[in-house]
Amino acid sequence: MAKDTAAVHAGRMSAQHFGVVNTPVYRASTVLYPDLATLEAGNVPYKYGRLGTPTSQSFEEAVTELEGGARAFVCPSGLGAISFALLATLGAGDHLLMTDSCYGPVRPLCDRVLRRFGIETTYYDPLIGGDIARLMRPNTRAVFCESPGSLTFEVQDIPAIAAAAHAGGAAVLMDNTWATPLFFNAFEHGVDISIQAATKYVGGHADVMIGYVCVNQANVKRFADAQHDLGLYASGDDCFLALRGLRTMPVRLARHRETALTLARWLSQRPEVSRVLHPALEGDPGHAIWKRDFRGSSGLFGVALKPCSHSAFAAFMNGVKLFGLGYSWGGYESLIVPAHITRSVRKFDADGPVVRIHAGLEDPNDLIADLEQAFAAMGAAQ
């Protein structure tokens, strides 16, 4: 079925819950067994709250179908999903190739936590493509991608990277939060492990912290064992909210996409703007690969401003009224934050400050008017 249809129907358990449309919230730790024989055999669908409930099962089954993978595992946050995926894939003495455009908190995860476990990380240029083969080592077990990259929005050549990684015996992991499985099918492009910060577009309402990892068949047992051993769990309430958000994600994403493109095209004409970082724009350096591999774009993009004083930049940021100054994204509200870009391999070229914008569900004309008056405040402060 089409992904829009799967978002509505996948993971439904109405027949088991008296026709109720949404799987109810199960807040559970203890699950009672009818007798000793059943307890000892353990052949029941739910054994203990941490090991899954109908609510988490509904969510995991829904995203598995949407992703086209073999099985999904729910996690307590997006970063928790990344941590889980890396810890399930890597061990002491292994080598990880991590894109230099990764989500910021992934760096301390690699440089502090994984290093303590004897796992070495090498950061690579996100635009390396198939040339990543020259960075592969005999002990390289994983190549981590994020496309488009956080803050800078470079588009990676995932099929080329995957081919080189698989030739060297490494698994390919990808943070696919920007596009979601609606706009990028990770498994069709060679990814083995697809990761979502479901806090963002899946939840969609800025009121849940949750993530998931979806894997191909070759990784099911390894990840099932790792989830059990690590004690990962997401509450029934969070799974319910994420599942509810999933049902409307296609229509919300369509609005996010159109508003973001409207804002990006308007911003690209502003005299205060050096360049807009949005791969769906025809002039973007990553547009050709984006057009080849993606089915759509989302509401998140970057804007590199021309050089200005800090007071002028502050006037711009403080001048917005409809854009909230806050982290995360994917909710119904528009957001804007300064982009603090950290790179190890290739310096990101920007003469002035860079901001990250999330286009929410407001009327785009109101958002443009809000940015326009913020630019006027910026000009007055120069």
Q: Count how many residues are written for the chain.
A: 382
Q: Which residues are catalytic?
A: 50, 103, 175, 200
- Assigned token pair, 329: 């994204």
Burial (CB count <10 Å: 0-12, 13-18, 19+), residue 58:
buried
Q: Please, is 221 exposed, middle or buried when counting C-beta atoms within 10 Å of its C-beta (0-12, 13-18, 19+)?
A: exposed
C-beta of residue 284 within 8 angstroms of C-beta of residue 304: no
How many other C-beta atoms are found inside a 10 Å radius of the C-beta of residue 366?
12
How many CB atoms within 10 Å of residue 51? Answer: 14
> How many CA within 13 A on the CB side of residue 181?
29
d(CA 44, CA 57): 14
Buried b (16+ CB within 10 A) or exposed e, 9-39: ebbbbeeeeeeeeebebbebeeeeeeeeeee
Please report, for the chain, how many H helices and E strands are present, in that order: 13, 11
Interacting residues of 121 by C-beta distance below 8 A, sequence separation 6+: 95, 96, 97, 98, 110, 111, 114, 115
Q: Distance between terminal CA atoms of the chain? A: 55
